[in-house]
Amino acid sequence: MEKRIYEAWKGRNKFLLGGRLIFGPDAGSILVSASMIIVPVIIFCNFIGRHLVHEFPSYNAGYMIVVAPFLFTIYVLILLLLTSSRDPGIVPRNTHPPEEEFRYENSVSNEGGGNKTPSLQFPRTKEVIVNGVSVRVKYCDTCMLYRPPRCSHCSVCNNCVERFDHHCPWVGQCIGLRNYRFFFLFVSSSTLLCIYVFCMSALYIKILMRNYDGTVWTGIRESPLAVVLMAYCFIALWFVGGLTGFHLYLISSNQTTYENFRYRADNRINVYDQGCAGNFKEIFCTKIKPSRNKFRAFMQEVHRPPPPATSRESGAEDSGPEDRRIKVEDDMDFGGDLLKISQRHDVKDIINSRHHNPSEFDSVLGSDRHAMNSNLHESRNYVAQRQGYR
Ligand SMILES: [Zn+2]
Ligand SMILES: [Zn+2]
């Protein structure tokens, strides 16, 4: 029985529906977060909204007081699911370290005399050019790749995630390139829901005061639940409201939470800032990049060489075509390798050295040309810079 990619996944993610949904390892917290939204809304609709309905009798407008938060809660829960159940922007792992780096680059400089024996001391960081400014990217030992700019390794999920913001324990998922928009909408919508329930509960107390012709205490005595809801929403507002404000600031200046903490410490300039409007446009109006992981694809074990008589782990490490595809994509992303390949005009050599099938390599090149192009600029700059150093 062929295994699918998600069944041999090395990160700590949990999968549902046969790999269609991907969660973080702490996905159980979604149920807690969801109930923290659902329970207060049910209490509100059942004990407060129900009475408020009759306060606005014309055209049955009062029913909107209950229907609106009900529909809005469904919207918030969908946003929660969109945030936590999709690939946040995981960079597929390499199955081998980037051989090109240390075989032909470093061994020359480290050991001298053009000795081309492999050396494991390949550079731990690379310089890439982003918007004309040199940015240092680090090598990830776990994923065996040079992280793209803004990418970071999540220690909870054990994956490298593009445009890594943070790992959110409330949604049980990394917040990154592919789910940041939904995360922000989730947090800001929760804030609006909080404000709504708070204001409507306050209105109910005011109506009770009028009806009983009493003070605030009369209202509180008549509906203690309204006070409990107001207190709950008040506390929640500090959290979700504060988070909304913080992320509005981050979006306006095109920073991630991770960068915000780092930049402050390093006093570095932000090379991604395109002006407030441009930054908002980037987050909310650009097409979300497709996932780079095909979780449901088969590992295609049939095309593999016979597995060595070692552990199952090493078998999983072996390159099936799917793995190769992922690896090639990675190589493109950290473009130095690929450009070196094209510059040296001995593609077949490299392919053979990496056990690649040339035709498959070509097809991969063709189908992923778009992904390559988007990274080529950086790669070119990188190579140009490396050459400049010599
Ligand atoms: Zn990593
Ligand atoms: Zn994570």
What pLDDT, on a 0 to 100 scale, did the predictor assign at position 121? 62
| Cα gap 114→112, rounded to integer Å | 6
pLDDT of residue 348: 40
pLDDT of residue 102 exceeding 70, the answer is: no
Distance of CA 303 to the CA centre of its chain: 32
- Residue 246 pLDDT class (50, 70, 90 cuts): very high
* Closest ligand, as measured to the CA of 87: 2
Contacts of 224 (CB under 8 A, 6+ apart): none
Rounded to 5 degrees, what are φ and ψ at 140?
Answer: -100, 120
Token pair for residue 110? 């480290």
CA of 378 to the centre of ligand 2 (A): 26
Q: Is 108 exposed, middle or buried (0-12, 13-18, 19+ CB in 10 A)?
A: middle
Asked whether the whole model's pTM tops 0.75, one would answer no
Task: Measure 160 CA to ligand 1 centroid, in angstroms.
Answer: 4
Q: Can you spell out the DSSP letters for 142-193?
A: TTTEEPPTT-EEETTTTEEETT--EEETTTTEEE-TTTHHHHHHHHHHHHHH
CA of 24 to the centre of ligand 2 (A): 6
Rounded alpha-carbon distances, angstroms, from residue 216 to 24, 55, 90, 137, 223: 46, 19, 53, 59, 11
Beta carbons of 167 and 20 less than 8 angstroms apart: no
Contact 165, 150 (CB under 8 A): no
- The label of the residue with tokens 């680090």 reads 138
CA of 189 from ligand 1 middle (Å) equals: 32
Dihedral sign for Cα 371, 376, 379, 383, please. positive
* 3-class secondary-structure state, position 320: coil
Q: Which ligand is nearest to the CA of 92?
A: 1
What is the mean predicted confidence (pLDDT) over 174-179? 94
Structure tokens at 114: 């053009």
Place of tokens 């205490």: 217
pLDDT digits (tens, 9 = 90+) for 44-88: 999 999 899 888 887 788 899 999 999 999 999 999 999 999 999
Q: What are phi and psi of 205, to 5 degrees?
A: -65, -40
Q: How confident is the model at residue 104, as a pLDDT?
A: 46
Distance 10 CA to ligand 1 centre (A): 11
Q: Is residue 14 a contact partner of residue 310, using CB atoms and an 8 Å limit?
A: no
Cα–Cα distance for residue pair 104/123, rounded to 1 Å: 12
Catalytic residue among 168, 174, 194, 233: 168
Counting ligands in written order, which one lies closest to the CA of residue 26? 2
User: If you measure from the C-alpha of residue 8 to the centroid of ligand 2, how many angstroms do you get, rounded to a whole number?
Assistant: 18
Ligand 2 centroid–CA 183 distance in Å is 14
| Closest residue by Cα to residue 235 from 227, 224, 245 | 227
d(CA 351, CA 335): 16
Surrounding ion ligand 1 within 5 Å at CB are: 140, 142-143, 153, 160
Q: Which ligand is nearest to the CA of 159?
A: 1
Residue 216 confidence (pLDDT) above 50? yes
Confidence at 99, pLDDT banded by 50, 70, 90 = low
Q: What are the tens digits of pLDDT across the range 307-349?
A: 444 434 333 333 344 343 333 333 333 333 333 333 333 334 4
Strands 173-175 and 166-168: antiparallel
Predicted pLDDT at 268: 75
Mean pLDDT of 269-295: 90
Count Cα neighbours of 101 within 13 Å in the Cβ-side half-sphere.
18
- CA separation for the pair 248, 242 (Å, rounded): 10
**Residue 249: its pLDDT value, please?**
95
What separation in Å is there between the alpha carbon of 120 and the centre of ligand 2? 29
Interval between CA 334 and ligand 1 midpoint (Å)? 14
Task: Output the pLDDT for position 8.
Answer: 83
Cα–Cα dist 378/148, whole Å: 10
Question: How far from 155 is each of 140, 178, 245, CA to CA, in Å?
Answer: 12, 18, 26
Active site residue 174: no
